[in-house]
Amino acid sequence: MDDGSKQLALEWLQRGDHDIETARLVFDQHGHLDSAAVHIQQALEKYLKGFLAFHGVKPPRIHDLDALLTRAAEIDPGLYTPFIDLCEKTTRYYLDDRYPPGPPIVHDRNTIKADLETACLLVREIRQKTGLP
């Protein structure tokens, strides 16, 4: 891994941190759960893209977490099984909650809490696997 890949990965992860922290803040302050859901998706997208960048893979310009996780699992197969369900679900958060038509999706607080906790596990896993701060 060259310094450019490491720097790009670090930038992806830092931006992902902003999203996961925002999701947690919105959730903890009893804010709009649809907004928390979108920030969970965005955090995971940035973390997965950071993981790819760390390994010298140019992150694709997509929002599909299933596809990003599949690419990441080509590098580290251990990422796939624990997180595929979360990635499939949170991809829909980005698509369903972000844009009209229709009102924002109403989410169950316990579901968002569980998704946020699992997202934090993936964040920790990627931090450990990259060794980035």
* Residues 41-77: tens digit of each pLDDT: 999 999 999 999 999 999 999 999 999 999 999 999 9
Residue 52 CB-density burial (10 A; 0-12 exposed, 13-18 middle, 19+ buried):
buried
Using the predicted structure, report yes or no on whether residue 1 has a pLDDT greater than 80. no
Q: Answer whether the bond into residue 101 is a cis peptide, omega within 30°.
A: yes
* Residues 89-129: tens digit of each pLDDT: 999 998 776 778 888 889 999 999 999 999 999 999 999 99
Residue 102 CB-density burial (10 A; 0-12 exposed, 13-18 middle, 19+ buried):
exposed
| Amino acid identity for residue 26 in this structure | V
* Dihedral (CA of 127, 23, 88, 14) sign: negative
CA neighbor of 54 nearest in space, from 24, 77, 75, 70: 75
Q: Mean pLDDT across the chain, nearest whole number?
A: 95
pTM for this model (two decimals): 0.95
Q: Which domains does the chain have, with CATH numbers?
A: 3-130 (1.20.120.330)
**What pLDDT does residue 42 have?**
97
**What pLDDT does residue 97 have?**
64
Residue 130 confidence class, pLDDT cut points 50, 70, 90: very high
Strand, coil or helix: 106: coil
